[in-house]
Amino acid sequence: MARPLQPGATIGIVGGGQLGRMMTLSAKEKGFRVGVVDPTEDCPAAQVSDWQIVAEYDDQFALAELARRTDVITYEFENVDVDALNQILNQANIPQGTDLLAITQDRLMEKTFLESNNVVIAPYATIISPTDIQDAIEGIGYPCVLKTTRGGYDGHGQYVLNGPEDLGPAMKLLHAGTCVLEAWIPFEKEISIMVAGNGYEDYITYPVVENIHRQNILHETIAPANIHGDVALEAKRIARVIADAVGLVGTLCVEMFLTKDNLIYVNELAPRPHNSGHYTIEACSLSQFDAHIRGICAWPLVEPKLYQKAVMVNVLGEQLVKSYELIDEKLNWHFHYYGKTVAKPGRKMGHVTILTEDVDKTLEAVKKTQVWD
């Protein structure tokens, strides 16, 4: 059993984006030093950390140097090279291990893992060649979704098939390798839940939230989700089953579909803090970033309390400048900006969290700003 890491020790983070930045801010608050590996000099996490190694995430020499200079290593996103991390396991302390990372990097592995733990997922078929598609569609039916097994995020690496006319364009995904064909779940809401562990089989869960997407990018998160109490309890149970199955250390996001009949289908897992958990910074007694840092440092975890309902809105590149105008107007809104130098359309540049007593009124207030039109 790992001994708790004491303040003054150094945490290494593979990845220097906004999640790494917010991890770093939490770690610094607790008295830790932080080093980051990222190929972009002066990346968001590096701006608030003690030092940066400018290198690709799979650079073996850079990871070995990170291991040499740190007491514990974590990662901020799931596309870190598993083989590269495995190469330093004997010289580094990576409490999360690499098994969960490997599972979440491959949709087929992820589905097999979830099925083996009796977690309900959408019906699916493995697609290796174009000839596999027709047989699979006969069993699954239209509409369905073809997804690459690796590398997909924010809607990339997937194609919705509504009928035979979509087969041609969808086949391009097979150039990337094996795919999965999933049944389309007619969901009422997309929901998610954060769960965290610290290596002591001690797991905590956050409120279930509702996520609203635009063009496959998260637009708003509503905390807590307006769902039946039994649904929330079932979502928490599923999250704990998954956490226990992997011996979770750090945070994990479980993304789910909720049907009109209150059935839950797990969509995917993200083994780190998640965009839908940003509201926890202001709205909860323990933020998801605090839970992650405490977890990887083997500190105790206490079930978080939701202080107030909240709405979180992402700020994308095309919304950035207009969002600045709200800073003087919305005195009770919490603005977070990530320090990225290039504001591209669709790129997450920041987020705004609004604590509220009336979610509907707040959603209307967000709409009225016209920043997010």
Average pLDDT (177-183) is: 92
Region 331-355: what's the mean pLDDT?
A: 97
Query: What is the pLDDT at residue 342?
Result: 95
Domain 123-183: which CATH number of 3.40.50.150, 2.60.120.650, 3.40.50.620, 3.30.1490.20: 3.30.1490.20
Question: Residues of CATH 3.30.470.20 domain(s) within the chain?
Answer: 187-368
Topology at the third CATH level for domain 187-368: D-amino Acid Aminotransferase; Chain A, domain 1 (3.30.470)
Q: Is the pLDDT of residue 1 over 70?
A: no
Domain span(s) for CATH 3.30.1490.20 in the chain? 123-183
- pLDDT reading at 169 higher than 90: no
The answer to whether the CB of 245 falls within 8 A of the CB of 180 is no
Average pLDDT over residues 134-141: 90
Contact between 155 and 141 under an 8 Å Cβ cutoff? The reply is: no
Q: How many CB atoms neighbour CB 327 within 10 A?
A: 12
pTM over cut 0.85: yes
pLDDT at position 44:
98
59: pLDDT strictly greater than 90: yes
**Percent of the chain beyond pLDDT 70?**
98
pLDDT band at 155 (very low <50, low <70, confident <90, very high): low
pLDDT band at 152 (very low <50, low <70, confident <90, very high): low
pLDDT tops 60 at residue 96? yes
CATH of domain 10-94: 3.40.50.20
Please tell me the predicted confidence (pLDDT) of residue 293. Answer: 98
At 163 the pLDDT is 93
Largest CA-CA distance found in the chain, in angstroms, rounded: 60
Which residues are CB-neighbours of 168 under 8 A, at least 6 positions away? none
Give span(s): CATH 3.40.50.20, the chain.
Answer: 10-94
> 42: pLDDT confidence band, cut at 50, 70 and 90?
very high
| Count of all residues that appear for the chain in the document | 373
Rounded-to-10 torsion of CA 190, 155, 342, 17:
70
Residue 285, token pair as written in the block = 């007694």
Lowest mean pLDDT among 31-35, 141-145, 209-213, 224-228: 141-145
Q: Does residue 95 have a cis bond before it (omega within 30 degrees)?
A: no
What local confidence, expressed as pLDDT, does residue 129 receive? 85
**What mean pLDDT comes out for the span 45-52?**
98
What φ, ψ does residue 266 adopt, rounded to 5°?
Answer: -75, 130
If you average pLDDT over every residue of the chain, what do you get? 95
